[in-house]
Amino acid sequence: MHIDLPENIAAMEVEGKPLGLGKPITTYASFSKLNDAAALISKSEYPLILAGNGVIRDNASDALVEFATRLNIPVVNTFMGKGAIPYTHPLSLWTTGLQKRDVASCCFDRADLVIAVGYDLVEYSPKKWNPDGTIPIVHVSLMESETDSSYIPEVDVVGNIADSLVEILRRADRRTKNDDFISGVRSRLLENYENYAQDEGFPIKPQKIIYDVRQVMGSDDIVISDVGAHKMWIARHYHCDRPNTCLISNGFAAMGIAIPGALAAKLVYPDRRIIAMTGDGGFMMNCQELETALRAKTPFVTLVFNDGGYGLIEWKQQDQFRRSRFIEFGNPDFVKFAESMGLKGYRVNSADDLLPTLKEAFEQDVPTVIDCPVDYQENLRLSQKSGELECAT
């Protein structure tokens, strides 16, 4: 919150002391709601957990992992729920939230119960995963559920999320065996992810860019995603072990968040690697803050997905109209731009360049900018694959 006072008011003498902060009140779910939720979960054959950003805000990630593991329930997370469960966990089915059908859609197709934990409708519209409103839902959150024709929970479990999960776990009983469907989905996700590890195409495919970034980032290092086509690929392909290590602006998302966001992250966590991943459009909206970053002595890496246009708008235009208009623009020389501010600039000239360039950039003691040409023909290929998606039974 920002409060701005007129100069004459701000200059006035004041008396008194600032008001103290009240102690936050922890609320707990009612026993009847906990019992009802546990009963639904116990009788469900194919439950699915949808983990949203509320899990992270309420520090409930450990409780979620324990809940899913003990009850053998697979988990998909929203864009803003990344890291709620480690992506290496055998029950993690990674991220959902694309406006198209994806592998995670198969999980919703099969589910006979969705346990929405810390989920807000703005993160991923329920009309995308429950269009007919036929999937029963258990809502577990600090806040009551919102009303939507595709989101009418059977039970609202309102209260501290971690405590609610612990209490439901005590009451639920699911003695099901390992589900081959879950391991099949994970195998499919892993195969798709690893397909791009050695890709040599140039300009570089977004999947390959994100794969290489993941190789240089530790479990606690932080990605700040700007808004654009690259955000969709980060959401789909950048996977997290820990909460708050991939921050994605969602809902009414604003372009230009990555650079100031990375600056703030480096101020809070000076010993972690921080990378701002942005399109060229988003970069040009707040690139002046790199000079602020230099003065603040916050060395982080800015990786620019350079396609000379508004890639996400083009993707949407091509999907809807089969043509695009008014999305192209010219860019400055990003390397010279960085150097003109006293930063370090790099240009990637081949797929093999990216990984060593990232490693070198993270060793610098000033902010760095990497100009990386990207092949956004992959956008329409993903749209085509979405239309051809078949779910194993």
What was the pLDDT predicted at 216?
98
What was the pLDDT predicted at 17?
86
What was the pLDDT predicted at 178?
61
pLDDT digits (tens, 9 = 90+) for 308-324: 988 888 888 998 898 99
Closest CA to 144 of 114, 108, 125, 116: 116
What was the pLDDT predicted at 390?
67
Share of residues in the chain with pLDDT > 70 (%): 97
Average pLDDT over residues 7-27: 86
Beta bridge partners of 224: 247, 276
Q: How confident is the model at residue 389 (pLDDT cuts 50, 70, 90)?
A: low
Residue 246 has pLDDT above 90, yes or no: yes
Chain centroid to Cα 381, Å, comes to 22
pLDDT digits (tens, 9 = 90+) for 168-206: 999 999 876 667 889 999 999 999 899 999 999 999 999
Which domains are present in the chain?
31-185 (3.40.50.1220), 195-384 (3.40.50.970)
Residue 45 has pLDDT above 60, yes or no: yes
Average pLDDT, the chain: 93
What was the pLDDT predicted at 105?
86
> Is pTM beyond 0.85 here?
yes
Give the strand order in the sheet containing 368-373. Answer: 246-248, 222-225, 274-279, 301-306, 368-373, 344-347
Residue 220 has pLDDT above 80, yes or no: yes
Helices 351-361, 206-216: inter-axial angle, 10-degree rounding: 30
- Size of the chain in residues: 393
Residue 147 has pLDDT above 90, yes or no: no
Q: By the 8 A CB rule, do 247 and 235 touch?
A: no
Give phi and psi for 97, each to the nearest 5.
140, -10
